[in-house]
Amino acid sequence: GQSLEQPSEVTAVEGAIVQINCTYQTSGFYGLSWYQQHDGGAPTFLSYNALDGLEETGRFSSFLSRSDSYGYLLLQELQMKDSASYFCALSDSWGKLQFGAGTQVVVTP
C-alpha cells in the first residue's frame, strides 16, 4: 500500500516562509501533488511534481526527491488568506490521488 506523512499543524506570521514536508512510502507512483482547502471549501490544486526538483508557481513552490521519498511545499510571503489545510497526494497514471492527512497552516498577524 501507500502512506504519506505530513505535520498536523504549522503556525507562522504574515510575511514569513513556511515549508510543509511530506514523506511517503509507496511501491510506485506517477507524481506528487499539493492541494489547498479552506474550511467549508473544495480542495484546489496548487502544484505537481512528476520529476525530481523544484516547481515554482508564484508564491508557492513544490519539491520532490524520489530517492529520499520526500517532498515539500514552500509558501512564501505568507498572507492571512493562506490559512488553510494543505494536503500532499500521490498520483497514479490514471490521475487517481491518495492524500496525506493534511497540514493545518495558521497565519497570525
Partner 1 sequence: SAVISQKPSRDICQRGTSLTIQCQVDSQVTMMFWYRQQPGQSLTLIATANQGSEATYESGFVIDKFPISRPNLTFSTLTVSNMSPEDSSIYLCSVGGVGSSTGELFFGEGSRLTVL
Which residues make up the interface to partner 1 (CB under 8 A)? Answer: 30-33, 41-45, 48-50, 87, 89, 91-102
The least distance separating partner 1 from the CB of residue 16, rounded to whole angstroms, comes to 25
Residue with Cβ nearer partner 1 (32 or 107)? 32
The least distance separating partner 1 from the CB of residue 39, rounded to whole angstroms, comes to 10
Residue with Cβ nearer partner 1 (30 or 70)? 30
Count of CB atoms situated within 10 Å of the CB of 108? 11
Report residue 80: phi and psi, to 5°: -55, -35
The least distance separating partner 1 from the CB of residue 26, rounded to whole angstroms, comes to 14
Count of CB atoms situated within 10 Å of the CB of 25? 11
Report the distance separating Cα 61 and Cα 44, nearest Å.
15
Residue with Cβ nearer partner 1 (51 or 80)? 51
CA proximity to 90, closest of 42, 22, 36, 9: 22
